[in-house]
Amino acid sequence: MITITVELGDRRYDVVVGDGARHLLATMISDVVPTAGRAAVVTQAGIPVDVDPGLPFEVFTVPDGEAAKSLSVVEALCRGFARARISRSDVVIAVGGGVVTDVAGFAAASFHRGVSYVNVSTTLLGQVDAAIGGKTGVNIPEGKNLVGAFWQPKAVLCDTEVLSTLPPREWASGRGEMAKYAFLGATGDAGTSGQPGASLLDVALSDQVARCVSIKAEVVASDEREGDRRMILNYGHTLAHALEAAAFGPDRRWDLRHGEAVAIGLVFAATLARRLGRIDDSRVNLHRRVVRGFDLSGDLPAGADAEELVTFMARDKKAHHDLTFVLDGPNGPEPVRDIEPAEVVATLAEMERSS
């Protein structure tokens, strides 16, 4: 097992990565939530992972996909917690991917104004990103993750053994976040292939996950509430979230998993940075190569409307009544504010022509 500590003073916690990590749950809860007498396990019906928290528990299931990330689901969970007599001294356990940890974490943050929770992450995307850092939340029609709370877990268990059951597109979604870390210093050297970012693919799966967790833990410890530096973890996410928001509802025009959308967002961010004179052609090409190296596409989906996407991007959490992006530059990715909408529209048009 590999253990990475998220250093947050008296709220510090461990992320344990490795095959069979889920089996440490009972011991972990006894250590980090010794007051717990009952547990609420939040999961989804299709997740083939059973856990033993070592104390009486009730299971609550939430819907599949982004539909689960709604205020109505949080209300249903909290009402269920009340019926199950979950107290402030008890514990919520999220078993699943990013959707489950997001919604269960927000319910835990809201119920009794804050109940301890532990994440048992079962997807690659969750293990390298969503389950760590304490950002919980749900969607509303106006945008993705616009309602939520910073509420740190007591521990995170990343069981790489369960990843063998993931379908190909769930692997792709996790690799989109891995591609992001290739530009945030998480990957070290270029690996045996000589391609930047490829070193993640040169090591065992547990080491891949642990490297991503390490960089996220360091960033979160330095900027827990996304004052500035933590924004770099959203590299590629501004367009990604806009693409996801534009596809909400029954008339969705494309089907993108989160990491697939992030891969497109990385290429977009690089193309915009070049337009603004922050990087050159070779750096843009590097982004495209890294995205392809993770078996992902950087092309906009057919039918994407630039003006609509700009509207959604303006609602991004990083924005301060402006268009804010994390963009590459001489010092690596960093937040850049007050981007002109015309520049964004032109960049989207350039991507559409080159796809």
Q: Following DSSP, what letter does each residue of 208-264 receive, concatenated?
A: HHHHHHHHHHHHHHH-TT-SSGGGGGGTTHHHHHHHHHHT-STT------HHHHHHH
- Of the listed ranges 41-55, 124-138, 317-331, the one predicted with least confidence: 317-331
Identify the band that residue 188 occupies on the pLDDT scale cut at 50, 70 and 90: very low
Which residues have a Cβ under 8 Å from the Cβ of 208 and sit 6 or more positions away?
Answer: 128, 178, 200, 201
pLDDT band at residue 190 under the 50/70/90 scheme: very low
Inform me whether the pLDDT recorded for 73 exceeds 90.
Answer: yes
Task: Determine the pLDDT at residue 251.
Answer: 63
Return the structure tokens found at 155: 């521990």
Task: Determine the CATH number of domain 169-354.
Answer: 1.20.1090.10
Q: What is the dihedral of CA 220, 158, 199, 262, to 10 degrees?
A: -60
pLDDT at 319: 58
The mean per-residue pLDDT over the stretch 274-288 comes to: 95
Cα 283 from Cα 279, distance rounded (Å) = 6
Q: Where are the alpha helices (DSSP H) in 276-327?
A: 281-293, 306-313
**Whole-angstrom Cα distance, residue 283 to residue 140?**
35
Tokens 């004052």 sit on residue? 227
Residue 196 has pLDDT above 50, yes or no: no
Give the Cα separation of 322 and 330 in Å (integer): 23
Residues 157-166 pLDDT 10s: 999 999 988 9
Every domain of the chain and the residues it spans: 2-166, 169-354
Q: Nearest to residue 138, comparing CAs of 221, 199, 66?
A: 66
pLDDT at 113 over 70: yes
Q: How confident is the model at residue 193 (pLDDT cuts 50, 70, 90)?
A: very low
Decide if pLDDT at 8 tops 90.
Answer: yes
Separation between Cα atoms, residue 80 and residue 38, nearest integer Å:
13
Q: Among candidates 262, 25, 247, which has minimal Cα distance to 129? A: 262
Q: Do 162 and 206 meet the contact criterion of CB atoms below 8 Å apart?
A: no
Secondary structure class of 277 (helix, strand, coil)? coil
Q: Which fold would CATH assign to domain 2-166?
A: Rossmann fold (3.40.50)
Contact (Cβ atoms closer than 8 angstroms) between residue 327 and residue 336: yes
Rounded CA separation 218/79 (Å): 36
Position 195 scores a pLDDT of: 46
Q: Which residues contact 83 (CB under 8 A, 6 or more apart)?
A: none
pLDDT of residue 252: 67
